[in-house]
Amino acid sequence: MHFDAPVQNFISQSTDICHEMEQAIYQLSILGLADHAEADNLYTRMMAVVSDIINNAMQYDDRNSASQTAAF
């Protein structure tokens, strides 16, 4: 799949944010400031958000490609 540069950047940045949050929560868990299960739950929710963003971008790309094909 080919996405426009802004969509690619957004997906990449969202994935980076999820990774940083995961690392921070696991560090807090090690220090006893956050529960390990809570860290897993937050990571799962954040990855679901990123997955939704990617799926929406793919649907947008498919619709955009279909409308461009119809224009020709």
Q: What is the pLDDT of residues 14-72, one digit of tens each?
A: 777 777 877 877 777 766 766 777 767 877 887 888 888 888 888 877 777 766 665 55
The model's pTM is 0.47
CA distance 50 to 15: 7
Sign of CA dihedral 59, 62, 68, 70: negative
- pLDDT the model gives residue 4: 67
Beta-carbon contacts of 64 under 8 Å, excluding residues fewer than 6 positions away, are: none
Domain boundaries, the chain: 1-32, 35-71
